[in-house]
Structure 1
Amino acid sequence: MPRKSALPSVADEQAAPGGAAAVDRALSLLAAFRQGDGALSVTVLAERTRLYKSTVLRLLASLAHAGLVQRTPDGLWSLGPEVARLAAIYADSFSLEDVVLPEMRALVQRTQESASFHVRQGDQRLVLFRVDSPQLLRDHVRAGDLLPLDRGAGGRILMAYTGARGKLYDAIRQDGHVMVSSDRVPGLVGISAPVWKAPHELVGALTLTAPESRIQPVFVDEVRVSAARLSARLGGQPAI
């Protein structure tokens, strides 16, 4: 009989009340995959879940049978195609408006500035959703407006993540956001971050706008957090 580990496994610590221990352990293996991971070894999976390697191998066999993981030619393990299928079903079950608007309202409440959600339409960008700042001094755009793609924070994000070249767009892709001042309207600052529906599938750009006199450094983090939350809800890969 193997010696009991001195530390409880992740599954033991996070066990579902009234649930099945074997299912908890299997789910802890799936949760062990982190953003940026490709394929992982049994040793790494055992370390992250604090399960015995023998237990990990048995669980992997069941998960592989269901298509939730797959073994690579070099003997490592990666997430399987069934995960992508379930993620697509999950994402399609949402109305984009029902997901995006509540987060935008929360962002406006936290910052007291205006929020827009932009999608690309050819060589322009469409304001798909809009929540206005409660303050009188603000930019005046409405849902349904078409704006330039090559000016403004939202347009810069859409261009950066659809192949635009240049130092600005390289910096946006590296930073994961952009803040520009007077790029479309003099005296107006825009902060924008991408929202993802699935890995490498851009949904749109979440953008906060404010007069230069009211901009605060913390607004960058607020936009990035909201964009990450939306990406997580839509089945993408949030990054903050």
Structure 2
Amino acid sequence: MTENDRDYIQSIERGFAVLLAFDASQPNPTLAELATATDLSRPAVRRILLTLQKLGYVAGRDGRWSLTPRVLSIGQHYSASHALTDAALPVLVEISEATRESASLGVLDGTEVVYAARVPVRRIMSINVSVGTRVPAYATSMGRALLAWAPAEVLEWVIENTEFDRLTPDTVCTPDGLRAALETVRRDGYALTSEELEQGLISLAAPVRDATGAVVGVTACSTSAGRSTPERFRAEVAPLLVEKTNALSAQLGYRGR
């Protein structure tokens, strides 16, 4: 056992596994269903649920369990401790109002992008997009804008740990294909994807930099193929998105180009 292994608290891992097992497909699972979803024993899941219940994060009734609103406070603590989210919201509103499309803030978490803030206009994706939604980095404009300027070791780790599934006929789903796409992103200064995450979705994303110049997030704007084309969306929205995102970077202390 290494020193890091000794510092690892498995009970916390199991507690989060149970919390994360609550989703749209199982909003009110039974203990048995949670045990199956987490691959934990029923006695272990029972102890975790009773602990979470005492802390106020879950509630049990008639053999079924549900999350309580207190779970939302975890996300609120993230927002409160990250100036990026607060600074981004007014910018997202400006982007959304100017384009009449949805605008989002994304951050990289492992091989995925997490929506950290969002100003929705209409539902354009079949998945339910809200704060906390996760999407694969390799197949999204947000992911590519994050990866294009990520440290080399981060990019290689993401590539090594990504399952390059073909989500649509247009998905770039090979490491070499992703690397080539990232070169285009660096050249343009923003990322554009069309019908790669799902058919009908067109999206642009631009990098947000902090005072050191590091990319700490991305803003994104999305539309549907029924409302625009990749060429038209690029021409009409990319300059605005880059302008607003650069202004956000300046608020965070970035003084580069």
| Distance verdict in 2 for CA 1:126–1:187, change over 3 Å | same
SS in 2 for 1:171: helix
Which segment is superposed worse, 121-130 or 211-220?
211-220
Q: TM-score, normalised by structure 1?
A: 0.56
Preserved CA contact (<8 Å) 2:85 2:116: no
> Which residue of the other structure, out of 216, 237, 240, is the alignment partner of 1:219?
237
2:140 is aligned with 1:142: no
Query: What is the identity percentage for the equivalent residue pairs of Structure 1 and Structure 2?
Result: 27
2:250 is aligned with 1:232: yes
Q: What is the aligned length?
A: 145
Separation in 1, partners of 2:256, 2:191: 16
2:177 is aligned with 1:189: no
Note the alpha carbon deviations across 1:29-53, whole angstroms, 9 max, x for none.
Answer: xxxxxxxxxxxxxxxxxxxxxxxxx
Letter in 2 for 1:132: P
Higher helix share: 2
Shift in Å at residue 145 of structure 1?
A: 0.8
Preserved CA contact (<8 Å) 1:126 1:145: yes
Shift in Å at residue 179 of structure 1?
A: 1.2
SS in 2 for 1:142: coil
| Distance verdict in 2 for CA 1:200–1:96, change over 3 Å | closer
- What is the aligned partner in structure 1 of residue 221 from structure 2? 208
Note the alpha carbon deviations across 1:190-227, whole angstroms, 9 max, x for none.
Answer: 10110001243111111101002323321111111111
2:167 is aligned with 1:154: no
2:182 is aligned with 1:169: yes
Preserved CA contact (<8 Å) 1:231 1:238: no
Shift in Å at residue 152 of structure 1?
A: 1.0
Segments of 4+ moved more than 6 angstroms: none
SS in 2 for 1:213: coil
Separation in 2, partners of 1:109, 1:235: 25
Preserved CA contact (<8 Å) 2:113 2:134: yes
SS in 2 for 1:203: strand
- What is the aligned partner in structure 2 of residue 101 from structure 1? 89
Letter in 1 for 2:110: G
Preserved CA contact (<8 Å) 2:213 2:256: no
Separation in 1, partners of 2:191, 2:180: 12
What runs of 5+ residues in structure 2 fail to find an aligned partner?
1-80, 156-177
Who wins on radius of gyration, i.e. which is larger?
Answer: 1
What runs of 5+ residues in structure 1 fail to find an aligned partner?
1-92
Separation in 2, partners of 1:105, 1:235: 21
Shift in Å at residue 187 of structure 1?
A: 0.9
Letter in 2 for 1:203: V
Separation in 2, partners of 1:120, 1:237: 23
Shift in Å at residue 148 of structure 1?
A: 0.6
Note the alpha carbon deviations across 1:10-61, whole angstroms, 9 max, x for none.
Answer: xxxxxxxxxxxxxxxxxxxxxxxxxxxxxxxxxxxxxxxxxxxxxxxxxxxx
Letter in 1 for 2:120: D
Q: TM-score, normalised by structure 2?
A: 0.53
Which segment is superposed worse, 102-111 or 154-163?
154-163
| Distance verdict in 2 for CA 1:148–1:128, change over 3 Å | same
